[in-house]
Amino acid sequence: MRNAAAEEFVVGMKVNATSLQHAAGTVCEWAAGKESRYVCVATVNNVMEAFDSNEFQTIMNHADLVTPDGMPLVWSLRLLGHKDATRVYGPDLTPIVIEGAVEARIPIGFYGASPLVLSLMVENVRRHFPNVEIPFTYSPPFRELSVEEDAQIVREINQSGVRIIFVGLSTPKQERWMADHRGRVNAVMIGVGAAFDFIAGTKPQAPRWMMRIGMEWFFRLTIEPKRLWKRYLKHNPRFICLFAWQLLWYSPNSQ
């Protein structure tokens, strides 16, 4: 059993100082043990949603693993004493987990996105990993499922035998779904959001150089301004101020 990733709190939300290989290995170990857990791949948006909502903060802080998806969270971890913190980006984590699942013969599934995006993503995954087992996929409707519908989906997931489910519903919907289904779904759930679109090829990814300097948000804002303007233009400045306040008044690992 691998060691647990160091835990820190950034503006009140838990973030683990993990790495791509450590996170993927941990997920596969849990899946091999048939454990029901959930993993959040977090950005500044998660932090600020958690800051604004006690309910969502509880969901994030009770997750089994919270990875630093965005560079601002990596820099925050480093400033709080975790000098070796690295980015664990959802679209990079997904294929590494799939590769580990294939090697360990662990069935995987996908929950989220539109039928077209889901179909294209599964096609690309099968192309890159010919031996992958995908016994379950589901594109939920753009409405809340009834209790009966949800119970049926849970039965189908469990009967399919999947042990890892990638969830692409966007934040905070996917985190709420995973928290609500821990203990009910017999699999490790990973909320990877936009990774579905990127792997499907339906949305472009920012250049790597923009990712390295923390400007991926600007690239995505230019691609989807109507959907993302509030997330970035409201949350990012507040995060900078709140984290600066944390650095001034709190020592590392003080929460």
Kindly tell me if the per-residue pLDDT of 27 is higher than 50: yes
Under the banding of pLDDT at 50, 70 and 90, the label for residue 194 is: confident
Residue 171: closest CA among 62, 44, 58:
44
CB distance 165 to 189 below 8 Å: yes
- Cα-Cα-Cα-Cα dihedral sign, residues 115, 158, 196, 73: positive
Query: 3-class SS at 229?
Result: helix
Range of weakest confidence among 109-118, 154-163, 207-216: 207-216
| Average pLDDT of the chain, as a whole number | 91
pLDDT at residue 1 in the model: 66
Measured CA to CA, the distance from residue 220 to residue 205 in angstroms comes to 8
- Residue 251 has what pLDDT? 52
Compute the average pLDDT of residues 42-60.
96
The pTM assigned to this predicted structure is 0.90
Q: What's at 90, amino acid-wise?
A: G
Mean pLDDT of 20-38: 97
C-alpha 69/C-alpha 90 separation (Å) is 6
For the segment 206-223, the average pLDDT, to the nearest whole number, is 74
Treating both helix axes as pointing N-terminal to C-terminal, what angle do 225-249 and 71-79 enclose, rounded to 10 degrees? Answer: 0
Q: What is the DSSP string of 145-188?
A: PPHHHHHHHHHHHHHHT-SEEEEES-TTHHHHHHHHHBTTBSSE
pLDDT digits 0-9 by tens, 114-152: 999 999 999 999 999 999 999 999 999 888 899 999 999
| CA atoms of 48 and 54, how far apart (whole Å) | 11
Of 70, 64, 9, give the one whose Cα is nearest residue 31: 64
Going along the chain from its start, the domains and CATH numbers come out as: 6-200 (3.40.50)
| Residues 220, 228 contacting (CB under 8 angstroms) | yes
Task: Judge whether residue 255 has pLDDT over 60.
Answer: no
Sign of CA dihedral 49, 79, 217, 199: negative
Average pLDDT, integer, range 27-50: 96
In tens, the pLDDT along 230-254 reads: 777 788 899 999 999 999 876 554 4
The sign of the dihedral angle between the CA atoms of 179, 180, 185, 191 is negative
Q: Give the model's pLDDT for residue 98.
A: 98
pLDDT at 254: 43
